[in-house]
Amino acid sequence: MRTYIHRLAASLLALTFIFAGCTMTPVQPVAPMAGADAIATEPPMAEPEPGKLTIVDVRARPAPLAGGTGAVYFTVLNGLDQEVRLVSASSPIAKVVETHETVSENGVMKMIPLLDGYAIRAGEALVLKPGGKHIMLIDLVKPLQPGDEFNLTVNFDNGESFDLTVPVLDMQMTMPMPDARHDHDQDHGGAKAEDDSHDHDHGDAATEEESHSHAPSHMTHSEATMAAIQALPISAVHKLDEALHAGEAIDRNAALETVHDLVAKLDAAPWPEELKEAVGAIRAKAEALHTALTHNNLNAAKALAAELHDLLHQLEGH
């Protein structure tokens, strides 16, 4: 046994001397597969051009519904010798354009509006991407289809503005169900109470590049189902939701009419079997909101409107 061990040790020592004079060729990485792995592999970051602000890699995800939401992504390269801040953006494609960020809190993805925009340090880059910082398009005037283009103006605190042409690209988005949320506690002045935690999803809260505690579900709809969804007063619910959380006075009769219209259109549409549970949840939430508004219980209405808004955006398939 001892002789065998000595022979084995000698063999290993010989191999060591043989390979000591060899140069090892590095193993080339395998090209990533298409899909989620491709998304996770990002190209090298471009270097900022000294003395200039530059915006590259501009794109938007598709958005199937007018009145719905979309998102724009790009990279800002700050070649200046001072920090600048992206403070706002505007576009004729949407009635509201905001600077947002998707964050994870206790395993739940939330979108929060960043009212002060994004700071970019001197010599560094700001990357807007799915699952992170992004420009949110709210209340779209028309759907965004792959191959479309639209204009977006981006403004910085040093007085510079950029007029961008944004291509709409098929970005293989997925929709997490049901925990992606949009935190409105920061959206309206930071006022918060235990009963008015307001979370709703605007659409790009998660992508294949992010890991969640639940598997994302792809939602695709037939033309008939898309038409039924488009007929829903989602934009009106959005405005009611925003008004309640801003503490603005609302026209209660108009709000009741919006909720009644929503329920009527939910009942009239021939929903496919896979959406009936989601539609039932929306209907129940709408009826609860109608009751709260009827009794002028605005605290309850505020929470219910947020939940209803969330459910409607999930139905959209963002």
229 and 152 together in one domain: no
Q: Is position 95 within any domain?
A: yes
- Please name every residue paired with 40 in a beta bridge, in sequence order, or none if there are none: none
Q: Is position 306 within any domain?
A: yes
61 and 129 together in one domain: yes
Q: Quote the distance between the C-alpha of residue 77 and its chain's center.
A: 22
Q: How far apart are CA 77 and CA 207, in angstroms?
A: 24
258 and 161 together in one domain: no
144 and 238 together in one domain: no
Q: Is the pLDDT of residue 196 over 80?
A: no
Domain of residue 74, residue span: 42-167
Quote the mean pLDDT of the chain.
Answer: 75
Q: Is position 200 within any domain?
A: no
Give the list of residues 6+ apart from residue 206 with CB closer than 8 angstroms, or none. Answer: 102, 109, 131, 174, 175, 176, 180, 212, 216
71 and 163 together in one domain: yes
Q: If you average pLDDT over residues 148-168, what whole number do you get?
A: 96
Q: Is position 54 within any domain?
A: yes
158 and 256 together in one domain: no
154 and 238 together in one domain: no
DSSP designation for 141:
S
59 and 150 together in one domain: yes
- Tell me how many domains the chain contains: 2
Q: Is position 214 within any domain?
A: no
Residues 246-263: tens digit of each pLDDT:
888 899 889 998 998 898
138 and 247 together in one domain: no
Task: Supply the CATH number for residue 122's domain.
Answer: 2.60.40.1890
The more confident residue out of 286 and 212 is 286
pLDDT at 86: 97
Q: How far apart are CA 179 and CA 105, in angstroms?
A: 11
Q: Is position 178 within any domain?
A: no
Residues 219-228: tens digit of each pLDDT:
456 778 888 8
163 and 269 together in one domain: no
- The residue among 204, 196, 259 whose CA lies nearest residue 232 is 259
Final residue of a domain: which of 148, 167, 186?
A: 167
Q: Is position 120 within any domain?
A: yes
Q: Is position 109 within any domain?
A: yes
* Percent above pLDDT 70 for the chain: 69
